[in-house]
Chains A and B, each alone.
Chain A
Amino acid sequence: MAKILKQRNIISLLILIAIVFPFLTKNEYFIHVMTLSFIWMIGVYGLNLLAGYTGYLSLAHAGFFAIGAYSLGILTVKAEMNFWLAFLLSLLITGILGFLIGLIALRTKEHFFAIYTLCVGYIIYLVIDKWDSLTEGVRGLIGIPAPGKAGPINFEEPLSQYYLVLFFLLVTVLIVYRIIHSLSGRTYIAIRNSEDLALTIGISTMKNKLSVFVLSTIFAGLSGALYASFIRFIGPDIGQISVTFDLLTYLLVGGIGTLSGPIVGTVLIVWLSQELQFLQDYRMLIFGPVLTLLVIFYPRGIVGALTGWKHKRDEKRKPQAARASSMAFGKSQVTVDKPVKEG
């Protein structure tokens, strides 16, 4: 049982389910919802790298999501560029803007950083909303093309779109996995642990924070570009702060700073929202308190709770290591470390 709960195994299992999912259900609507979930997950992974592993809570994430989406939309619809070229460029644009914004934003820390990025996110939203000549403002951008044909595969079909998005999600997970288990990953965790301590052992914290910030915005941009090509229509509301909070909710529920948290949280919340749609906005009456309780009792979400529970079982067998979990040095509850090896 303990083995099954290893995050790597959880992920392998989830991938398998994702691959066979379209064969289990013939319902196109389900496939549509699932494709959307995958798109969100990519964005959540970006947020997780920054907020979860490095300890910098960015509230500008929806802004970068929108930059990715609008870059693709404008380049394909208005500049009539080839889809894949526009797709690549939109990631590049998001990354460059992320770099410039990060350069300034990362001079702040903790709640100042959160507030600063909150403002940045709002400014991005305003620019999209007001810059009519470029973005079509509130009318939105219509007629964004799907990826089109690549050899025998026609990406206009829901099923091939599903697999395309799944492919990008897997690439995302793989990249994040590699980063977290590399020296860079440990460096990010060291920064989350204590920036002064990281500096003390010779880590250039600014360089590392900037690189993870840019990476995080590129994932947001990727998520946005995929969204634009999947929904084929975008309006300024995709850059609204509520989208950032949605992504953050997925991350918190699944498990911030865990490798499989973004998948678990997103699937769960997206499907729950679908199932509870009859409640309309009263859903929040349920989500709000549940989220609050979860953050209080399980600061590392569902995945954190499961691995924590597994740890306790292991430690009961190995009494000597039991002291480890009781010694929490982290800055706050959310950032208390668990061995990364778990992932």
Chain B
Amino acid sequence: MLKLQNVSVKYGSFTAIENLKIEVEEGQIVVLLGANGAGKSTAFKAISGLKKPSSGEIFFQGTPISRRTADKIVQLGIVQCPEGRHLFPAMSVYENLKMGAFVHRRKKDEIKKSMSHVFELFPILKEKQHDPAGSLSGGQQQMLAIGRALMSKPKLMMLDEPSVGLAPLIVEQMFEVIKTINKEGTTILLAEQNANAALKIADKGYVFENGSVVLQGTSNELFSNDEVRKAYIGA
């Protein structure tokens, strides 16, 4: 479904990712593991069109997308849930969700349907739909960020460190929901430092270091890999 072919991205003269090769099959959950600054978010930015690759090509369902603008890429069905759970803090929860459906803005019925779907996944958002997004707790904000991404009815959803800064119990819930979203038919690409939680739900993973993939394999392989355990699981 998604294929990165030798993708490199530069910030000025600094090469943040180099010759990246990643493949995501339809229906999978794929995780990118890596420490701070490894280049996970940069890879996401390249896929979502926020940052143009300096070389290489990105294919989505067979179409090259690296020259398309970010808004066109969302229309194709790739949505990014950016790191730091960026919301529109002054807009209400409801309005944030509605903004998420921007690409379907003319289909009122579909928006309603997606909205009730999101409310089913995250009942707390329904309860707080009239509150400003800025007043939510960290976990609720992450739910809203995911909910807003879902509103675009993505085929591929990219989540950038959804677990960061959340209590373990909330993290567990979050990953449960991600699994549910995946079961309902959305392919998931996840960036995480929390390898333990991520590998539990993922089909396969890539380990990033300094902008390159140093290790890849199925979740089981990575989970039992000594280096991964030492670096990311701490056992």
Contact = CB atoms under 8 A, between A and B. Distances in A.
A269 to B, nearest CB: 27
B135 A321 contact: yes
B103 A202 contact: yes
B131 A201 contact: no
Interface residue SS majority, chain A: helix
B91 to A, nearest CB: 7
A183 B105 CA distance: 9
Contacts of B88: 186, 189-190, 193, 197, 337
8 contacts: A189-B90, A197-B82, A200-B50, A200-B80, A201-B74, A201-B102, A202-B103, A324-B135
Contacts of A205: 71
B149 to A, nearest CB: 8
Interface string A304-343: 0000000000000000110110011110000011111000
Contact of A196 (B82, B135, B149): B82
Interface in B57-106: 69-71, 74-75, 79-80, 82, 86-92, 95, 99-100, 102-103, 105
A200 B82 contact: yes
A190 B99 contact: yes
A201 B100 contact: yes
Interface of A: 183, 186-187, 189-190, 193-194, 196-197, 199-206, 320-321, 323-324, 327-330, 336-340
A253 B105 CA distance: 36
A336 B88 CA distance: 10
A327 B48 contact: no
A183 B106 CA distance: 11
Given A202-B102, A203-B102, A324-B131, A337 B71 contact: no
Contact of B70 (A199, A320, A324): A199
Contacts of A201: 74, 79, 99-100, 102-103, 148-149, 152
Interface of B: 48-50, 69-71, 74-75, 79-80, 82, 86-92, 95, 99-100, 102-103, 105, 131-132, 134-135, 148-149, 152
A186 B87 contact: no
B86 A337 contact: no
A203 B101 CA distance: 10
Contact of B89 (A203, A204, A328): A328
Given A186-B88, A200-B48, 18 more contacts: A183-B105, A186-B99, A190-B99, A196-B50, A197-B82, A199-B69, A201-B74, A202-B74, A202-B102, A203-B71, A323-B134, A329-B89, A329-B134, A336-B90, A337-B89, A337-B134, A340-B90, A340-B91
A146 B149 CA distance: 54
B90 A337 contact: yes
A204 B90 contact: no
A199 B99 CA distance: 11
Lowest 6 A-B CB distances belong to which pairs?
A337-B90, A202-B74, A324-B135, A199-B70, A202-B103, A327-B134
B41 to A, nearest CB: 11
Contacts of A320: 135
A334 to B, nearest CB: 14
Contacts of A321: 131-132, 135
A285 B11 CA distance: 46
Contacts of A204: 69, 71
**Highest count of chain A CB atoms <10 Å: which of B92, B131, B132, B152:** B132
Contacts of A196: 50, 82
A183 B108 CA distance: 13
Contacts of B71: 199, 202-205
Nearest to A196: B50
B86 A197 contact: yes
Given A199-B50, A201-B148, A337 B91 contact: yes
